[in-house]
Amino acid sequence: MKDRIRRSRLYIPGNNPSIMQNIAVFGADTVILDLEDAVAPPEKDAARILVKYCLENVDFGRTERGVRINPLNTPFGKKDLDMVLSSNVELIFLPKTESAEDVKELCSLIGDREIWISPIIETAKGVLNAYEIASADPRVVMLCFGAEDFTRDIGAERTREGKELFWARSMIVMGAKAAGIQASDTVFSDINDMDGLIQETRFAKSLGFDGKGLIHPSQIEPVHMVFSPTQEEIEYARKVVDALREAEEKGLGVIALGRKMIDRPVTERAKRILKIAEELGLLEVNDD
Protein backbone atom coordinates (compact mmCIF):
# COMPACT_ATOMS: atom_id res chain seq x y z
CA MET A 1 0.00 0.00 0.00
CA LYS A 2 1.46 3.33 -1.05
CA ASP A 3 0.52 5.35 2.02
CA ARG A 4 0.87 2.65 4.68
CA ILE A 5 2.41 3.77 7.96
CA ARG A 6 6.21 3.74 7.87
CA ARG A 7 7.36 5.09 11.23
CA SER A 8 10.35 2.77 11.30
CA ARG A 9 12.58 1.32 8.59
CA LEU A 10 14.93 -1.18 10.23
CA TYR A 11 18.17 -2.02 8.44
CA ILE A 12 19.15 -5.69 8.59
CA PRO A 13 22.49 -6.77 7.07
CA GLY A 14 21.91 -8.97 4.07
CA ASN A 15 24.46 -11.46 5.36
CA ASN A 16 23.02 -11.97 8.86
CA PRO A 17 20.53 -14.87 8.93
CA SER A 18 20.22 -14.94 12.72
CA ILE A 19 18.60 -11.50 12.72
CA MET A 20 16.45 -12.21 9.68
CA GLN A 21 14.63 -15.06 11.36
CA ASN A 22 13.23 -12.69 14.00
CA ILE A 23 11.79 -10.04 11.67
CA ALA A 24 8.16 -10.65 12.63
CA VAL A 25 9.05 -10.49 16.34
CA PHE A 26 10.76 -7.11 16.01
CA GLY A 27 7.58 -5.43 14.75
CA ALA A 28 9.14 -2.69 12.61
CA ASP A 29 6.83 -1.08 10.08
CA THR A 30 9.36 -1.71 7.30
CA VAL A 31 12.49 -3.85 7.15
CA ILE A 32 15.39 -3.11 4.80
CA LEU A 33 17.43 -6.17 3.91
CA ASP A 34 20.66 -4.37 3.12
CA LEU A 35 22.84 -5.47 0.22
CA GLU A 36 24.80 -2.21 0.04
CA ASP A 37 26.85 -0.75 2.90
CA ALA A 38 26.28 -3.66 5.29
CA VAL A 39 27.85 -6.22 2.94
CA ALA A 40 31.50 -6.24 1.80
CA PRO A 41 32.09 -6.81 -1.94
CA PRO A 42 33.39 -10.39 -1.55
CA GLU A 43 30.21 -11.34 0.34
CA LYS A 44 27.62 -9.76 -1.95
CA ASP A 45 26.86 -12.84 -4.06
CA ALA A 46 26.21 -14.96 -0.97
CA ALA A 47 24.17 -12.19 0.65
CA ARG A 48 22.03 -11.91 -2.46
CA ILE A 49 21.13 -15.60 -2.20
CA LEU A 50 20.39 -15.27 1.51
CA VAL A 51 18.16 -12.23 1.01
CA LYS A 52 16.15 -14.01 -1.66
CA TYR A 53 15.69 -16.98 0.68
CA CYS A 54 14.61 -14.63 3.47
CA LEU A 55 12.05 -12.85 1.30
CA GLU A 56 10.50 -16.12 0.22
CA ASN A 57 10.63 -18.15 3.44
CA VAL A 58 10.82 -15.96 6.55
CA ASP A 59 7.68 -14.79 8.33
CA PHE A 60 7.54 -10.98 8.12
CA GLY A 61 4.26 -10.68 10.00
CA ARG A 62 2.82 -7.24 9.25
CA THR A 63 6.24 -5.81 8.41
CA GLU A 64 6.78 -4.46 4.90
CA ARG A 65 9.44 -6.32 2.88
CA GLY A 66 12.15 -3.94 1.68
CA VAL A 67 15.58 -4.37 0.11
CA ARG A 68 18.35 -1.82 -0.34
CA ILE A 69 20.12 -2.71 -3.55
CA ASN A 70 23.50 -1.37 -4.59
CA PRO A 71 23.49 1.64 -6.94
CA LEU A 72 22.72 0.62 -10.50
CA ASN A 73 26.00 2.11 -11.75
CA THR A 74 28.01 -0.39 -9.68
CA PRO A 75 28.89 -3.99 -10.64
CA PHE A 76 26.38 -5.24 -8.07
CA GLY A 77 23.27 -3.11 -8.60
CA LYS A 78 21.64 -4.90 -11.51
CA LYS A 79 22.45 -8.32 -10.06
CA ASP A 80 20.69 -7.22 -6.88
CA LEU A 81 17.72 -5.99 -8.88
CA ASP A 82 17.43 -9.21 -10.89
CA MET A 83 17.22 -11.12 -7.63
CA VAL A 84 14.73 -8.70 -6.12
CA LEU A 85 12.43 -8.82 -9.14
CA SER A 86 12.22 -12.60 -8.90
CA SER A 87 11.15 -12.44 -5.24
CA ASN A 88 8.15 -11.06 -3.35
CA VAL A 89 9.73 -7.76 -2.33
CA GLU A 90 7.35 -4.86 -1.70
CA LEU A 91 9.72 -1.88 -1.55
CA ILE A 92 13.09 -1.19 -3.19
CA PHE A 93 15.43 1.32 -1.55
CA LEU A 94 17.67 3.03 -4.10
CA PRO A 95 20.83 4.46 -2.46
CA LYS A 96 22.79 7.49 -3.62
CA THR A 97 19.85 8.80 -5.64
CA GLU A 98 20.77 12.14 -7.18
CA SER A 99 18.25 12.79 -9.94
CA ALA A 100 14.90 11.87 -11.39
CA GLU A 101 16.81 9.98 -14.08
CA ASP A 102 18.15 7.58 -11.42
CA VAL A 103 14.58 6.74 -10.44
CA LYS A 104 13.40 6.45 -14.03
CA GLU A 105 16.22 4.03 -14.83
CA LEU A 106 15.12 1.81 -11.96
CA CYS A 107 11.49 2.05 -13.05
CA SER A 108 12.36 1.05 -16.60
CA LEU A 109 14.01 -2.10 -15.26
CA ILE A 110 11.12 -2.87 -12.91
CA GLY A 111 8.65 -2.59 -15.78
CA ASP A 112 4.99 -2.78 -14.82
CA ARG A 113 5.56 -4.72 -11.61
CA GLU A 114 3.75 -3.41 -8.54
CA ILE A 115 6.82 -2.62 -6.46
CA TRP A 116 7.20 0.60 -4.47
CA ILE A 117 10.36 2.70 -4.60
CA SER A 118 12.11 4.70 -1.88
CA PRO A 119 15.08 6.80 -3.03
CA ILE A 120 17.74 7.45 -0.40
CA ILE A 121 19.21 10.94 -0.68
CA GLU A 122 22.82 11.07 0.47
CA THR A 123 24.52 13.82 -1.53
CA ALA A 124 24.26 17.57 -2.09
CA LYS A 125 23.01 16.99 -5.61
CA GLY A 126 20.32 14.66 -4.35
CA VAL A 127 19.14 17.21 -1.79
CA LEU A 128 18.89 19.92 -4.44
CA ASN A 129 16.82 17.59 -6.63
CA ALA A 130 14.56 16.28 -3.85
CA TYR A 131 11.25 17.26 -5.45
CA GLU A 132 12.23 16.01 -8.90
CA ILE A 133 13.26 12.68 -7.35
CA ALA A 134 10.08 12.43 -5.28
CA SER A 135 7.84 13.11 -8.28
CA ALA A 136 9.77 11.05 -10.85
CA ASP A 137 7.29 8.13 -10.82
CA PRO A 138 3.97 7.31 -9.10
CA ARG A 139 5.62 4.29 -7.46
CA VAL A 140 7.92 6.51 -5.37
CA VAL A 141 6.40 6.40 -1.87
CA MET A 142 9.04 7.85 0.44
CA LEU A 143 12.25 9.90 0.42
CA CYS A 144 14.91 8.77 2.90
CA PHE A 145 17.81 10.81 4.20
CA GLY A 146 21.30 9.37 4.64
CA ALA A 147 23.29 11.80 6.77
CA GLU A 148 26.65 10.04 6.98
CA ASP A 149 27.29 10.04 3.24
CA PHE A 150 25.75 13.50 2.93
CA THR A 151 28.11 15.12 5.43
CA ARG A 152 31.05 13.42 3.76
CA ASP A 153 29.89 14.69 0.39
CA ILE A 154 29.69 18.31 1.51
CA GLY A 155 32.81 18.17 3.68
CA ALA A 156 30.98 18.87 6.94
CA GLU A 157 31.64 17.42 10.36
CA ARG A 158 28.87 15.17 11.64
CA THR A 159 27.87 16.61 15.01
CA ARG A 160 25.57 15.36 17.73
CA GLU A 161 23.47 18.51 17.48
CA GLY A 162 22.99 17.96 13.75
CA LYS A 163 22.99 21.64 12.85
CA GLU A 164 24.84 20.81 9.64
CA LEU A 165 21.83 18.70 8.56
CA PHE A 166 19.01 21.17 9.16
CA TRP A 167 18.80 22.59 5.65
CA ALA A 168 19.10 19.18 3.97
CA ARG A 169 16.45 17.69 6.24
CA SER A 170 14.11 20.56 5.46
CA MET A 171 14.68 20.25 1.72
CA ILE A 172 13.95 16.52 1.77
CA VAL A 173 10.74 17.03 3.73
CA MET A 174 9.64 19.84 1.40
CA GLY A 175 10.41 17.80 -1.70
CA ALA A 176 8.54 14.78 -0.38
CA LYS A 177 5.49 16.70 0.82
CA ALA A 178 5.26 18.72 -2.39
CA ALA A 179 5.09 15.41 -4.25
CA GLY A 180 2.54 14.00 -1.81
CA ILE A 181 4.74 11.24 -0.38
CA GLN A 182 6.40 10.36 2.93
CA ALA A 183 9.79 11.42 4.28
CA SER A 184 12.01 9.30 6.55
CA ASP A 185 14.86 10.74 8.61
CA THR A 186 18.41 9.41 8.84
CA VAL A 187 19.51 6.77 11.33
CA PHE A 188 20.67 7.51 14.88
CA SER A 189 23.92 5.60 15.23
CA ASP A 190 24.33 5.34 19.03
CA ILE A 191 22.23 2.33 20.01
CA ASN A 192 23.00 2.87 23.71
CA ASP A 193 21.61 6.41 23.86
CA MET A 194 17.83 6.08 23.93
CA ASP A 195 17.33 9.60 25.27
CA GLY A 196 19.33 10.99 22.36
CA LEU A 197 17.33 8.87 19.93
CA ILE A 198 14.02 10.12 21.29
CA GLN A 199 15.21 13.73 21.23
CA GLU A 200 16.38 13.49 17.62
CA THR A 201 13.22 11.65 16.57
CA ARG A 202 11.03 14.34 18.11
CA PHE A 203 13.02 16.95 16.24
CA ALA A 204 12.61 15.03 12.98
CA LYS A 205 8.86 14.80 13.57
CA SER A 206 8.71 18.54 14.20
CA LEU A 207 10.28 19.12 10.78
CA GLY A 208 7.62 17.02 9.08
CA PHE A 209 9.27 13.60 8.81
CA ASP A 210 6.96 10.60 8.98
CA GLY A 211 9.51 8.08 10.22
CA LYS A 212 13.15 7.29 10.86
CA GLY A 213 15.82 4.81 9.83
CA LEU A 214 16.95 2.37 12.52
CA ILE A 215 20.02 0.19 12.93
CA HIS A 216 18.93 -1.93 15.90
CA PRO A 217 15.62 -3.50 17.00
CA SER A 218 15.87 -1.77 20.39
CA GLN A 219 15.25 1.53 18.60
CA ILE A 220 11.85 0.50 17.25
CA GLU A 221 9.71 1.11 20.34
CA PRO A 222 10.99 4.65 21.09
CA VAL A 223 10.62 5.72 17.47
CA HIS A 224 7.12 4.27 17.23
CA MET A 225 6.20 6.09 20.41
CA VAL A 226 7.24 9.45 18.97
CA PHE A 227 5.58 8.97 15.60
CA SER A 228 2.32 7.60 17.04
CA PRO A 229 -0.47 9.96 18.15
CA THR A 230 -0.79 10.41 21.89
CA GLN A 231 -4.16 9.98 23.60
CA GLU A 232 -4.26 13.74 24.12
CA GLU A 233 -3.70 14.33 20.40
CA ILE A 234 -6.38 11.79 19.54
CA GLU A 235 -8.93 13.35 21.89
CA TYR A 236 -8.26 16.85 20.55
CA ALA A 237 -8.48 15.59 16.97
CA ARG A 238 -11.87 14.01 17.73
CA LYS A 239 -13.12 17.30 19.15
CA VAL A 240 -11.94 19.16 16.05
CA VAL A 241 -13.62 16.68 13.70
CA ASP A 242 -16.83 16.80 15.77
CA ALA A 243 -16.78 20.60 15.60
CA LEU A 244 -16.29 20.42 11.84
CA ARG A 245 -19.23 18.04 11.48
CA GLU A 246 -21.45 20.27 13.61
CA ALA A 247 -20.50 23.36 11.60
CA GLU A 248 -21.25 21.59 8.32
CA GLU A 249 -24.62 20.35 9.60
CA LYS A 250 -25.55 23.91 10.57
CA GLY A 251 -24.24 25.36 7.32
CA LEU A 252 -21.68 27.48 9.12
CA GLY A 253 -18.56 28.73 7.35
CA VAL A 254 -16.68 29.22 10.61
CA ILE A 255 -15.62 26.27 12.76
CA ALA A 256 -15.49 26.93 16.50
CA LEU A 257 -14.06 24.79 19.26
CA GLY A 258 -14.73 26.41 22.59
CA ARG A 259 -13.55 29.98 22.19
CA LYS A 260 -11.15 29.16 19.37
CA MET A 261 -11.74 29.43 15.65
CA ILE A 262 -10.49 26.35 13.78
CA ASP A 263 -9.22 26.71 10.22
CA ARG A 264 -9.08 24.07 7.50
CA PRO A 265 -5.41 23.04 7.95
CA VAL A 266 -6.16 22.17 11.58
CA THR A 267 -9.13 20.04 10.60
CA GLU A 268 -7.11 18.22 7.94
CA ARG A 269 -4.38 17.47 10.47
CA ALA A 270 -7.00 16.20 12.91
CA LYS A 271 -8.40 13.85 10.27
CA ARG A 272 -4.93 12.54 9.55
CA ILE A 273 -4.24 11.91 13.25
CA LEU A 274 -7.45 9.91 13.55
CA LYS A 275 -6.64 7.95 10.41
CA ILE A 276 -3.21 7.02 11.76
CA ALA A 277 -4.66 6.19 15.17
CA GLU A 278 -7.24 3.91 13.56
CA GLU A 279 -4.61 2.08 11.51
CA LEU A 280 -2.50 1.60 14.64
CA GLY A 281 -5.46 0.33 16.65
CA LEU A 282 -5.36 3.25 19.07
CA LEU A 283 -9.03 4.24 18.77
CA GLU A 284 -11.62 2.93 21.18
CA VAL A 285 -14.47 0.82 19.81
CA ASN A 286 -16.92 3.69 20.06
CA ASP A 287 -14.63 6.12 18.25
CA ASP A 288 -15.66 7.34 14.80
3-state secondary structure of 117: strand
* Residue 264 confidence (pLDDT): 82
Structure confidence by residue, pLDDT tens digits, 29-87? 999 999 999 999 999 999 999 999 999 999 999 999 999 999 999 999 999 999 999 99
φ, ψ dihedrals at 283, nearest 5°:
-90, 145
Spatial CA neighbour of 163 closest among 211, 212, 190, 203: 203
φ, ψ dihedrals at 216, nearest 5°:
-150, 140
The domain over range 8-227 is classified in CATH as 3.30.2310.20 = no
Task: Delimit the domains of the chain by residue range.
Answer: 8-227, 231-279
Sign of the torsion angle spanned by Cα atoms 177, 179, 181, 184: negative
φ, ψ dihedrals at 139, nearest 5°:
-85, -5
* Residue 263 confidence (pLDDT): 83
- Name the binding residues for substrate: 68, 122
> CB neighbours (10 Å) of residue 104?
12
Report yes or no: 224 and 8 within 8 Å, Cβ to Cβ. yes
* Residue 236 confidence (pLDDT): 94
- Name the binding residues for Mg(2+): 122, 149
* Residue 247 confidence (pLDDT): 82
* Residue 223 confidence (pLDDT): 99
* Residue 85 confidence (pLDDT): 95
- Name the binding residues: 68, 122, 149
Which stretches in the chain have pLDDT values below 50? 286-288
